[in-house]
Amino acid sequence: MSSAADSASADTPVLSIRGLQTHFATQSGLVKAVDGVDIEVYAGECLGIVGESGSGKSVTFASVLGLVRPPGRIVAGSVRYRDQDLLALDRKRLRALRGKEIAITLQDALTCLNPALTVGEQIIETLREHRRAPSRTLRAQALEMMALVGIPEPASRLKQYPHEFSGGMRQRVMLAIALACRPRVLIADEPTSALDVTIQAQVLELLARLRRELGMTVVLITHDLGVVAEFCERVVVMYAGQAVEIGPTRALIGAALHPYTRGLIGSIPRLGDIGHRIRPIEGQVPELIDLPAECRFIGRCPYAEPACRTLIAMRSIDARRQVRCRRAGTLA
Ligand code: SF4
């Protein structure tokens, strides 16, 4: 989509996820929430991770940052950030890296923010974790962050509690906390899903502006392919714990190779196109317990045939596109 992305893609990835498997031992069986995911994130790009609930997109990046809690466990794979193996870091070193190098912002700002602390205290707490500086300096930096994310009258709002902010403003506070230490990579997990459409647009514009101004790499996790189309240069489509299609956003949306991606595109409403019929994808994401070794989309796929009842690997179509479908390229 942008030339910046094109040149970034030629570089070494800043974050490289290989063969990642994160499983949850439950009373009903082993839930393979992430099952062999390979994703590269290149410096400076905005990478969209899209899929329905249960696709494994959030668990993948929670795994990257060591945020998976029992009964969840990473059972295989590697995660490299620059020259470090993140899965080999102990808790202390991972905590030191979180926020400073890679930060995450989550969907539900109200439950993520501490209701008993002012927003100023929460931003300063994050800064203090990574920087040694007098309180006055940290307060000035917190004010700077509030202004950067577009919170008006930061000096007085610094003293307010989360419940005194609107949903959109709380999301800005979350961004201020996530960006306080100027991380190189921001993982934004459904940052706008809980917001009204107009506020959603404002927060996404803000994210795009901050990315430009801070020179950040952004991973945008969302169920909304429309958001990805607008803000991301590349996209990873996930389904049932696996990546099923990866490619530059424009090429992928213009000519999707995987039937699931086609289904996602067909279910986007188009304003102004009165005759356009939204075609929802029939059926549900399968239970991730004891799945047979076959295409995971088979139960919902209009192109399924008996030969799809076998293990389907991700394959490269060209240097930038990959797909997990044996019929890709032959679909009508
Ligand atoms: S491998 Fe078969 S069932 Fe799976 S998405 Fe492709 S055509 Fe559909």
pLDDT in tens, 288-319: 897 888 999 999 999 999 999 999 999 999 99
pLDDT in tens, 173-219: 988 898 888 899 999 998 877 677 777 788 888 888 888 888 899 99
pLDDT in tens, 62-72: 999 999 999 99
Best probe residue, ligand 1, of 308, 315, 317, 324 (max atoms within 8 Å of C-beta): 308
CB of 295 within 6 A of ligand 1: the answer is yes
pLDDT in tens, 95-115: 889 888 999 988 776 678 899
Report how far residue 34's alpha carbon sits from residue 56's, in angstroms, rounded to the nearest whole number: 5
Q: How confident is the model at residue 9 (pLDDT cuts 50, 70, 90)?
A: very low
pLDDT in tens, 212-246: 888 899 999 999 898 899 899 999 999 999 999 99
Range scoring the smallest mean pLDDT among 49-53, 77-81, 240-244, 283-287:
283-287
The pTM score is 0.89
Is the domain covering 1-92+225-270+286-332 a CATH 3.40.50.300 domain?
yes
Best probe residue, ligand 1, of 262, 281, 309, 325 (max atoms within 8 Å of C-beta): 325
Atom number, ligand 1, closest to the C-alpha of residue 312: 1
Considering the chain, what is the average pLDDT of its residues?
88
Residue 256 C-alpha to ligand 1 middle, in angstroms?
A: 13
- Amino acid 109: pLDDT: 66
Higher pLDDT residue, 277 or 221?
221
Delimit the domains of the chain by residue range: 1-92+225-270+286-332
Q: What is the 3-state secondary structure (H, E, C) of 196-263?
A: CHHHHHHHHHHHHHHHHHHCCEEEEEECCHHHHHHHCCEEEEEECCEEEEEEEHHHHHHCCCCHHHHH
Distances from the Cα of 300 to the Cα of 242, 259, 283, 297, angstroms? 16, 9, 6, 6
